[in-house]
Structure 1
Amino acid sequence: MSAENLRGKTAVVGVAQAGVGNCEGWQPLELMGLAVQGALDDAGIALHEVDGLCATTGSHYFASLSAAEYLGIQPSFTSCDMNGGSSFMSQLLQGVMAIEAGLCKTVVIAYGSNARSNGGNHAGLIETPEWEQLYRPRIPVTGYALAAARHMHEYGTTREQLAEVVVAARSWGAMNPEAFVQDKIDLETVLGAKIISDPLSVMDCCLVTDGAAAMVLVAKDRAKEYGKKAAYVLGSSSATTHRQIDQMPDLTTTAAVQSGERAYQMAGVQASDIDAIQLYDAFSINVILFLEDLGFCAKGEGGAFVSGGRIAPGGERPVNTNGGGISCVHPGMYGLFCMIEAIRQLRGECGDRQIQSAELALAHGNGGTLSSQATTIFGTEACL
Structure 2
Amino acid sequence: MSATLIRGSVEVPYARRSIEPTAHWLGRAFEALMQELDFDAARVDGLGVASFTLRPDRAIDMAWRLGLRVSWFMDDGNGGASGLNLLQHAVAAIETGQARHIVLMAGDAFQPADFQALQDNYNVTTRDLLRPLGIANPNTLFALATQKHMHRHGLRRSDYGELVLSQRRHAARNPNAVYRAQMTMDDYLNAPQVASPLGLYDCVPVVAGANAILLSHADEAGSHHGCVRVRAVRGLHNHDQHQGDGLQTGLAEIAPRLFADAGLRPSDIDLVSVYDDYPVMTLVQLQDLGLVGDAGLQRFVRETVPEGRIALNTSGGQLSAGQAGTAGGMHGLTEAIRQLGGRCAERQLPRARTAVVSGYGMVEYRYGMCAAATILEAVA
Provide the TM-score with structure 1 as the length reference: 0.90
Match of 2:271? Answer: 276
Provide the rounded CA distance (Å) in 2 between the counterparts of 1:231 and 1:360. 9
Cα deviation per residue 1:51-71 (whole Å; 9 max; x = unaligned)? 111102111255212312221
Q: What secondary structure is seen at the aligned counterpart in 1 of 2:246?
A: coil
Match of 1:332? Answer: 325
- Whether the 8 Å CA contact 1:259–1:373 is kept in 2: the answer is no
Provide the rounded CA distance (Å) in 1 between the counterparts of 2:189 and 2:290. 28
The one-letter code of the counterpart of 2:216 is: V
Question: How many percent of aligned residue pairs carry the same amino acid?
Answer: 27
Cα deviation per residue 1:25-46 (whole Å; 9 max; x = unaligned)? 2110111011011112222222
RMSD: 2.3
- Whether the 8 Å CA contact 2:8–2:337 is kept in 1: the answer is no
- Whether the 8 Å CA contact 1:117–1:210 is kept in 2: the answer is no
- 1:47 alignment partner, one of 41, 50, 54: 41
Cα deviation per residue 1:131-172 (whole Å; 9 max; x = unaligned)? 333322132112211221111122212211111111111111
Q: Is 1:366 aligned to 2:360, yes or no?
A: yes
Match of 2:205? Answer: 207
1:125/1:35 Cα in 2 relative to 1: closer, same or farther (>3 Å)? farther
Q: Relative to structure 2, which stretch is displaced further, 55-64 or 187-196?
A: 55-64
- Whether the 8 Å CA contact 1:234–1:267 is kept in 2: the answer is yes
Q: Relative to structure 2, which stretch is displaced further, 137-146 or 51-60?
A: 137-146
Q: Relative to structure 2, which stretch is displaced further, 297-306 or 74-83?
A: 297-306
Instruction: Report the alpha carbon displacement of residue 298 of structure 1 after superposing the two structures with TM.
Output: 5.3
Q: What aligned pairs does 1:1-384 form with structure 2 within 5 A after superposition?
A: 7-22=1-16, 24-59=18-53, 60=55, 63-115=58-110, 120=115, 126-127=122-123, 128=126, 130-225=128-223, 229-242=226-239, 247-297=242-292, 301-308=296-303, 310-311=304-305, 315-333=308-326, 334-369=328-363, 370-382=368-380
Provide the rounded CA distance (Å) in 1 between the counterparts of 2:322 and 2:129. 31
Provide the rounded CA distance (Å) in 2 between the counterparts of 1:97 and 1:77. 11
Q: What secondary structure is seen at the aligned counterpart in 1 of 2:312?
A: coil
Instruction: Report the alpha carbon displacement of residue 230 of structure 1 after superposing the two structures with TM.
Output: 0.1
- Whether the 8 Å CA contact 1:164–1:306 is kept in 2: the answer is yes
Instruction: Report the alpha carbon displacement of residue 238 of structure 1 after superposing the two structures with TM.
Output: 0.8
Q: What secondary structure is seen at the aligned counterpart in 1 of 2:325?
A: coil
**Residue correspondences, number:** 371
Instruction: Report the alpha carbon displacement of residue 222 of structure 1 after superposing the two structures with TM.
Output: 2.5
- Whether the 8 Å CA contact 2:16–2:206 is kept in 1: the answer is no
Provide the rounded CA distance (Å) in 1 between the counterparts of 2:58 and 2:260. 32
The one-letter code of the counterpart of 1:102 is: G
Provide the rounded CA distance (Å) in 1 between the counterparts of 2:127 and 2:334. 30
- Whether the 8 Å CA contact 1:220–1:232 is kept in 2: the answer is no
Q: What secondary structure is seen at the aligned counterpart in 2 of 1:53?
A: strand
Instruction: Report the alpha carbon displacement of residue 249 of structure 1 after superposing the two structures with TM.
Output: 2.4
- Whether the 8 Å CA contact 1:292–1:299 is kept in 2: the answer is no
Provide the rounded CA distance (Å) in 2 between the counterparts of 1:261 and 1:21. 38
- Whether the 8 Å CA contact 2:121–2:127 is kept in 1: the answer is no
Q: What secondary structure is seen at the aligned counterpart in 2 of 1:20?
A: coil
The one-letter code of the counterpart of 1:265 is: A
Q: Gaps spanning 5+ residues in structure 2: where?
A: none
1:116/1:348 Cα in 2 relative to 1: closer, same or farther (>3 Å)? farther
Provide the rounded CA distance (Å) in 2 between the counterparts of 1:125 and 1:34. 28
Q: What secondary structure is seen at the aligned counterpart in 1 of 2:80?
A: coil
1:125/1:331 Cα in 2 relative to 1: closer, same or farther (>3 Å)? farther
Q: Relative to structure 2, which stretch is displaced further, 190-199 or 115-124?
A: 115-124
Provide the rounded CA distance (Å) in 1 between the counterparts of 2:345 and 2:44. 30
Provide the rounded CA distance (Å) in 2 between the counterparts of 1:379 and 1:10. 12
1:317/1:323 Cα in 2 relative to 1: closer, same or farther (>3 Å)? same
Q: What secondary structure is seen at the aligned counterpart in 2 of 1:376?
A: strand
Provide the rounded CA distance (Å) in 2 between the counterparts of 1:9 and 1:61. 34
Provide the rounded CA distance (Å) in 1 between the counterparts of 2:227 and 2:21. 31
Q: Runs (4+) of structure 1 moved beyond 3 Å?
A: 116-125
Q: Relative to structure 2, which stretch is displaced further, 333-342 or 251-260?
A: 251-260
Instruction: Report the alpha carbon displacement of residue 357 of structure 1 after superposing the two structures with TM.
Output: 2.0
Q: What secondary structure is seen at the aligned counterpart in 2 of 1:86?
A: helix
The one-letter code of the counterpart of 1:237 is: R
Provide the TM-score with structure 2 as the length reference: 0.91
